Amino acid sequence: MEQNHLQTELQNAFTQGNLWASLIGLISIFLLVGAVYALVLNLRRFLRHEAKSLPLGAVPVAWNLNLIFPVGLFAFVCANLLLLGFNLALPKTHAPLSFNVQALKALLQTLIILISLTFAIIYLLWRRYVGIWQLGLNTWRREYLSGGLWAYLSILPVLALVGALLGLFRKTLLPEQEIYNLLMGLTSMPISLLFLIIVGLVAPLLEEIIFRGFLFGTLRNSFGPRRSMVYSSLLFAALHQSLVAFLPIFFLAMVLSYLYEKTGSLWPSIILHMVNNTVATLFIILIRKAI
């Protein structure tokens, strides 16, 4: 009798526990949906009322597709010269480099390529007497900060969901993104902080100038905004060389292009990109510390 009574109590407790868990789960879902809805409303309000710059289409860029080849060629020459100088400046040693040094070398080489592309774009546009404002770098306004933050919070649930789903295949079918492997292998805190600064702050600024300010603006003159968003975002995602991260990066690039299109300013996209990269990099560093 006592055993049956105990089993009955355990079953009741388990049933009540399931009911409470289900109730808490439903409440959490409603709160999440409500939070996303509120964030999207705030983002729409920013795009309609606070982002008072001219839409990108109101002032089309003063160059066309013909400029892409000279920019690419000029950047290729600059990048190779800088990489040659960088490799010559490294101390000569026959001993294998530590993982920290290899990771730092890979990061700086990528940074050199981004700097070369940005320099080529700005220099060739300057030669054509086009101001830097044509790349979306107009006067800073504090509304751009709030707009970028609202945009990040609005897309965060989508990025988290897609990342979680793709994470199921990460260890079995798809390789990791290179930056993830580099960060997870680092043991030096100073180099980790340098990664955080470059990946979280410097790279987003340069990439927005290249992919949204220049590439998207150039394609827009020939293909219109929608197709240009898709084309530039596909290229942006492909150049990150990661199958597992392709969809999240493509989605992020589409949002970045949309922000630029709607506001006519690159600053909200830069803020969103910086916040996304900084949070992701910090998350990986903290995971590495916890392991």
pLDDT at 210: 93
User: One digit per residue, pLDDT tens: the chain, 291 residues?
Assistant: 554 554 555 455 445 444 444 544 454 454 445 545 555 555 555 555 444 444 554 455 667 777 788 888 888 888 888 878 777 776 666 556 666 777 778 888 888 889 888 888 888 777 775 667 778 887 788 888 888 888 888 888 888 787 777 666 655 544 556 666 677 777 678 888 888 999 999 999 999 999 999 999 889 888 888 999 999 999 999 988 777 788 889 999 999 999 999 888 999 999 999 999 999 888 888 877 666
Residue entry with tokens 């597709």: 65
Amino acid (1-letter code) at residue 250:
F
Question: Which own/partner contact pairs does 215-218 have at CB distance under 8 Å and 24+ positions apart?
Answer: 215/68, 216/257, 216/260, 216/261, 217/56, 217/61, 217/134, 217/135, 217/136, 218/61, 218/63, 218/64, 218/65, 218/67, 218/68
Write out the DSSP string of 205-257: HHHIIIIIIIIIHHHHHHHHHHHHHHHHHHHHHHHT--STTHHHHHHHHHHHH
Mutual angle of helices 142-170 and 246-263, in 10-degree steps: 160
Give the integer Cα–Cα distance in Å for 61 and 47. Answer: 21
User: What pLDDT was estimated at residue 21?
Assistant: 46
CA distance to 43, 95, 144, 153, per residue, from 215 (Å)? 25, 42, 21, 26
Predicted pLDDT at 40: 56
Rounded distance between C-alpha atoms, residue 246 and residue 252, angstroms: 10
Residue 163 φ then ψ, to 5°: -60, -40
At residue 150, the pLDDT reads 86
* Token pair of 264 as six digits: 């006519």
- Predicted confidence at residue 188, as pLDDT, reads 74
The structure tokens listed for 178 are: 């290179």
Tokens 């490799």 appear where?
Answer: 87
Per-residue pLDDT, 10: 45
For residue 133, give the DSSP letter: G
* Helices 267-290 & 142-170 angle (0-180, nearest 10): 40
CA 172 to chain centre: 25
